[in-house]
Amino acid sequence: MKVGLFGANGRMGRVLIEALNEHDNASLSVASVRDDSPWVGMDVGELAGIGKLETACSALSTINPAVVDVMIDFTLPAAFDSNLKWCVTNNKPVVIGTTGLSAAQLDLLADAATRIPVVFAANYSVGVNLMLSLVKQAARALGATADIEILEAHHRFKQDAPSGTAMAIGEAIADELGRDLSTCAVYGREGKTPPRDHNTIGFATVRAGDVVGEHTALFADIGERLEITHKASSRLTFARGAVQAAMWLTQQDAGQYGMNDVLSLNQ
């Protein structure tokens, strides 16, 4: 399978180069960067720090769709619209890991999915997606009495807060309990606050150092609490999951899918 990357010079782009290089059944055919990027023409292996691979980074405008089976996009919201347009125009499936998308961009994604296959997930770790199933089970059992908080930590460079994964955890819990996360979420607390509203779902965010990603769903009742935690120690976890999603996606019809579909967690 021939895989193309948008934003090859980004943190996840470099790790995806490594993940594709080690894969037995997928190969990197295109590694694109902005047209004005200083990385145009650089060997992708040297960019990723794994040694020369004899494939050069190419400008976004020069991507040849004929050498691509599926694209992977882990860039930023500013690049999302043009990347998605390229995929729709060239009828290429796309795996999207970009977080912090606006409501308008989510509408664009939904429209694109009527024409091409799309996997869109806040997190491509197998463990995190299993966690999303576990928090639903915990919500069913404990949601009537427990207070629910979501704690997340990431590296100092992450721009969106709470993380897309934290929001996905919150959505999973809220959906299970019949709540609307947009009205019941509480993002941080400061000063003198009233007693906690049981129906709220709280979020706490840490940005520090080189933390890859840590998420905890806390269900706290009087006398006991349950904590469901996932900690990532390497971005390769996410990259390998994205490659798995890309291979699965090439066999699907147009539509919007999630990692629960890729991993058959809905069955």
Per annotation, catalytic residue among 154, 198, 215, 230: 154
What is the pTM (predicted TM-score) of this model? 0.77
pLDDT tens, position by position, 151-201: 999 999 998 899 989 999 999 999 999 999 999 999 988 899 889 999 999
Residue 43 vs residues 40, 52, 54, 218, 266: alpha-carbon distances, Å: 9, 6, 6, 45, 40
Q: What angle do CA 76, 79, 81 make, to 5 degrees?
A: 120
User: Quick one: pLDDT at residue 152?
Assistant: 97
User: Quick one: pLDDT at residue 55?
Assistant: 87
Structural fold of domain 126-232: Dihydrodipicolinate Reductase; domain 2 (3.30.360)
Per CATH, domain 2-120+235-262 is 3.40.190.10: no
Per annotation, catalytic residue among 23, 158, 215, 230: 158
Assess contact for 75 and 10: CB atoms under 8 A.
Answer: yes
pLDDT tens, position by position, 126-158: 899 899 999 999 999 999 999 999 999 999 999
Please confirm, yes or no, whether 158 is among the known catalytic residues. yes
Question: Does position 267 have pLDDT exceeding 60, yes or no?
Answer: no
Of 43-57, 65-79, 82-96, give the lowest mean pLDDT range. Answer: 43-57
Domain ranges of the chain: 2-120+235-262, 126-232
